Amino acid sequence: MKHIKWFLFLFIAGAVASCGLSSDRGELVGSLGRKAWFHPQPYGTVYVPTGSFHIGSNEQDVPMSMIAPNKQVTISAFYMDETEITNNEYRQFVDAVYDSIVREKLGEKFFLTFEEPIGDADHGLNYRQKIDPEEDLKGNEDIKDLNYKGDEIYYRTSQIDVRKLKYRYEYIDLRAAAQYSKQAGYKRNRGEFKHKEEVDIYPDTLVFMRDYTYSYNEPIATVYFWHPKYDDYPVVGVNWKQANGFSHWRTIHLNSFYAENEENTVTAFRLPTEYEWEYAARGGRDQNLYPWGNYYTRNAKGCALANFKPNRGDYANDGGHYPIRVASYFPNDYGLYDMSGNVAEWTRSAYAEGANLFSHDNNPDFQYDAKEEDPETLKRKTIRGGSWKDIAHYIQCGSRTYEYQDSANSYTGFRCVMSYIGRSNKDKR
């Protein structure tokens, strides 16, 4: 009887409390009906907590310490891909773009919903319904136009003309908007800060041949991206603009799912800043040379700890000749694989020799959106981590170099990050 009374008391108390929440009763209580939200961890990522560390080289490199001296900075929490983006993961992007182009040629409209039509569209776009090439595309000349034609046909096979695989997207330059949105009380139209991008998305694996003169790399060049043997190898032959296009598509792909299920969307996937990358690579070990610690590139058993160029050119001595399967070596203390070696990685940061000197100490970054007509110097983007063809110096956490934003090669890939919404992993509200 005592238990029944206690249950009734709780039931009545809950009912009274819920009734009280249906009205603010004239008090300032904030907007009602908002659910608690926890930032979901994207599949295949690890959490990197908020923290401080010292950026810069850790060797006794006097010239480097003069150009880019050590400095303590603080980095906000983020999720980061535990491995470099693989060929198979990038292929999902290529397949989605091809699917979109086909549907566009079939006369469908595109928008980010699975339920209600928008504008002059008469139906929603259902990406989960597979297009049947035999039925849906039979005799469609617009679709056939996507394939190689004439003397470009090889071995009498029908193949996609990869030059026609382009990803179109828009973004708002928030930095420019923040700088110019209010001048002398004048509010500018945000459309002035909207940019449209169109990027070729298919990776160029011929870089294995183009990067090296007098070197026989034809076998890996012809099969690296499409063959299932290389599904779990890092994608290469992707320039900085293509990596940004992939990040934009990945954001839309995930947030469309959340919108379909009436859930809150998340922050965008993007390339890490070079300082986020360095912070993550150190794995919580401040001022360490490598992600695993200091001084040595082999463990106590003599096993190599990364895929790089040891012993003045003995490429295979560490277990990898070219890029190898991701996560083939031990992760760092954050659970991130291949932060040293395998392939170097694009960051979102523009490259400047003395960036450490003028960048802020709170989430430092230096960005510049280079135009086609800009000098080549302004098109340099920082890459980090070193690669399978680099000596040990370049796989150190603090080493930095650059590639041009419109160039692709056989030793540079990328991974994405997503800014964490909240204070840290201890903040669950």
3 state SS for 31-44: CCCCCCCCCCCCCC
Residue 367 has pLDDT above 80, yes or no: yes
Distance CA 107, CA 303 (A): 57
Report residue 65's pLDDT band, with 50, 70 and 90 as the boundaries: low
Residue-level pLDDT at 56: 81
Contact in structure between 351 and 380 (CB atoms under 8 Å): yes
Is residue 26 in a domain?
Answer: no
Per-residue model confidence as pLDDT tens digits over 377-392: 999 999 999 999 999 9
- Count other Cβ atoms within 10 Å, centred on residue 276: 25
Q: Is residue 316 part of a domain?
A: yes
Question: At 100, is the pLDDT very low, low, confident or very high (cuts 50, 70, 90)?
Answer: confident
Residue 373 has pLDDT above 50, yes or no: yes
The domain total for the chain is 1
Q: What CATH number is associated with residue 348?
A: 3.90.1580.10
311 within domain boundaries: yes
pLDDT of 109 reads: 45
Percent share of the chain, pLDDT over 90: 54
Highest-pLDDT range among 345-349, 392-396, 422-426:
345-349
pLDDT tens digits, residue range 188-212?
Answer: 777 888 889 999 999 999 999 999 9
> Distance (Å, rounded) from C-alpha 357 to C-alpha 380?
18
Would 118 be classed as within a structural domain?
A: no
Residue 130 is predicted with a pLDDT of: 53
Confidence at residue 114, expressed as pLDDT on a 0 to 100 scale: 40
**pLDDT of 340 above 80:** yes
For the chain, give the mean pLDDT.
84
Indicate whether 65 belongs to any domain: yes
Q: Is the pLDDT of residue 16 over 50?
A: no
Identify the weakest region by mean pLDDT among 41-55, 64-78, 298-312.
64-78
- Is residue 122 one of the residues assigned to a domain? no
Q: Show the domain range for 321.
A: 44-86+235-429
Digit-coded pLDDT (tens) for 209-251: 999 999 999 999 999 999 999 999 999 999 999 999 999 999 9
pLDDT surpassing 90 at residue 10: no
Residues 390-414, mean pLDDT to the nearest whole number: 94
In a domain, 307, yes or no: yes
pLDDT category at 155 given cuts 50, 70, 90 is: confident
| Helix ranges (DSSP H) in 236-393 | 240-260, 274-282, 355-358
Out of 171-185, 193-207, 336-350, the most confident range is: 336-350
- The answer to whether position 135 is within a domain reads no
Quick check: 89 and 424 in contact, CB under 8 A?
Answer: no
pLDDT at 179 over 50: yes
> pLDDT tens digits, residue range 265-277?
999 999 999 999 9
What is the pTM assigned to this prediction? 0.86
What are the distances in angstroms from CA 368 to CA 40, 111, 173, 252, 348?
31, 30, 11, 24, 9
Give the C-alpha distances (Å, rounded to integers) separating 171 from 123, 212, 247, 259, 347.
Answer: 26, 36, 12, 19, 18
- Checking if the pLDDT of 15 tops 60, the result is no
Identify the three-state secondary structure at position 270.
strand
pLDDT at 124: 38
Q: In this predicted structure, what is the pLDDT of residue 157?
A: 74
